[in-house]
Amino acid sequence: MVRARVTYNDNHLKALYSLTKKPYVIKKLIPKILWTAVCLAAGIFFLRAAIILRSSSGYIWIALAFTFAALYIRDIIKLLSDDKGKNKLPPYQYSTELIFGGQAFEIIKTGENFTVHRDFPYGTINKAVETMNYFFIFVEAKKAFIIHKSELTEGSVPELEYFLASVFGKRFVDKRSVKI
């Protein structure tokens, strides 16, 4: 059995942001850039045809092409903008105990006036990722429990690595080369 006690802070959020933001941006950015280029090319083509043919009937196509290009450019700017400040920690402090072993991943959140116990069967967890300094347990695509390796209270890092690799199989991603 491996246990960790975590009190989340901004460093945990920065680590999650660093792990998830870059691949997401690149994956979304490439098609948007291509569609922007196609729309601009179409707009220039229709504009050139309208000038050569001296026809006013192509203006609607010119307007549509440049409008779509502008919308894609707006989306690109949104993707490239820095949104680190969107994810905030709650104003109250609480600690979370994470327990690996048995049939489910257990969490126990303890605050000043509350205690919450929750189990996540391993089959329902999206994936587990290990980086140089952290373990990320993704319970959903963009929701993760973040454990700094120094926060393990029972068991060791190699024990947790072995356990996660055996339980998750291909859903355990080793990114120890990433300096997060």
Q: pLDDT tens across 20-56, in order?
A: 776 667 778 889 999 999 999 998 988 888 888 887 7
Residue 102 Ramachandran class (φ > 0 left, ψ -120 to 50 alpha, else beta) = left
pLDDT one-digit tens code per residue, 163-177: 999 999 999 999 888
Q: Cα 85 to chain center, whole Å?
A: 14
Beta bridge partners of 152: 4
Residue 82 has pLDDT above 70, yes or no: no
Residue 84 has pLDDT above 60, yes or no: no
Percent of the chain with pLDDT strictly greater than 90: 48
Residue 151 has pLDDT above 80, yes or no: yes
Contact indicator for 23, 173 with CB cutoff of 8 Å: no
Beta-strand ranges (E) seen in 9-142 are 95-100, 104-110, 115-121, 127-131, 134-140
Percent of the chain with pLDDT strictly greater than 70: 91
Q: Which residues contact 120 (CB under 8 A, 6 or more apart)?
A: 104, 105, 106, 107, 139
Residue 89 has pLDDT above 80, yes or no: no
Residue 162 has pLDDT above 90, yes or no: yes
